[in-house]
Amino acid sequence: MNRRMTDRLLAQLAETRSPNTRANVLEELRRLILSGGAPPGTQLPPGEIADAFDVSPIPVREALKTLVGEGLVVHRPGAGYRVSQLSTEELREIYFVRGTLEQAALARSVGLIDESSLETARAHHIELLAAVKYNDGKAFHDISREFHRALTEPCAMPRLLNMFEATWNLTEPFQVMRSVTAETQQALNTDNADLLAAFGDRDTASVLDVAHRHHQRLESAVIETAALLDVRHD
């Protein structure tokens, strides 16, 4: 099974590499991991990845070490590099941390957000409703992040946003929103609508109340979909 995942990764790298491959190794590996193209547990053999990029193994190992530092890849002596594979409890913990960081950003954004950012969030919400209607799990997953970005970026706190983005990245390989039920997606969209209404009213207390409820729902979704995710079973 793991060999098939590795072969799929190598094929995708060969197809998508750009002419500037040396500078592109890190970006392409990160993109594939975050998009679910390399599921948790996928073996990442430096030599074969170097062949796919037509580079020496050195920039590949440097890229893998960077991804280890970001928490997206793990390295074990004798076992090589693999895409990080978390347990259900670890994944729930990361969602909790992500929620805490997001609530801090949202509390700051309420008083700073402009109408343009709100319109962007509203447009993403309409796209999310369409994703549920047409049973497009990938679109729902991808647009969810853009919706939350539109509401958090106005906080104008780059260090907080960097931590928030890094924590969100740790959950991306699992593609949780692609696995939840339509009922859960609809409930999350209801939260999003309530969040937009609270932002429109500039009501910080309501924003935080909805955000807390939303993240509790996300943590429950991890449990709901655990059997479908590539979580580690200790």
pTM, to two decimals: 0.86
Take residue 154 and report the two structure tokens written for it.
Answer: 């106005």
Mean pLDDT of 192-211: 98
Mean pLDDT of 140-148: 96
> How far, in Å, CA of 118 to CA of 160, rounded?
20
pLDDT for res 45: 92
- For the chain, state the CA radius of gyration: 19
Asked if 40 and 83 count as a contact pair (C-beta separation under 8 A), the reply is: yes
> Rounded to the nearest 5°, which phi and psi values hold at 43?
-70, 140
Take residue 175 and report the two structure tokens written for it.
Answer: 């593609």
> How far, in Å, CA of 201 to CA of 207, rounded?
9
Query: What's the mean pLDDT when you consider all of the chain?
Result: 90
- The model's pLDDT over 3-13, given as tens digits with 9 standing for 90+, comes to 776 677 666 66
- The model's pLDDT over 66-98, given as tens digits with 9 standing for 90+, comes to 999 999 999 999 889 999 998 888 999 999 999
Question: Is-same-fold flag (2-83; 88-228)?
Answer: no
* Helices 46-53, 2-16: inter-axial angle, 10-degree rounding: 30
pLDDT for res 19: 53
- The model's pLDDT over 93-119, given as tens digits with 9 standing for 90+, comes to 999 999 999 999 999 999 999 999 999
> How far, in Å, CA of 124 to CA of 43, rounded?
35
> How far, in Å, CA of 159 to CA of 116, rounded?
23
43 secondary structure, DSSP code: B
What is the CATH number assigned to the segment(s) 88-228?
Answer: 1.20.120.530
In CATH, 2-83 is 1.10.10.10: yes
**Does residue 31 have a pLDDT over 80?**
yes
Take residue 182 and report the two structure tokens written for it.
Answer: 């339509």
- The model's pLDDT over 42-75, given as tens digits with 9 standing for 90+, comes to 999 999 888 888 888 999 999 999 999 999 999 9
Extents of the domains making up the chain: 2-83, 88-228
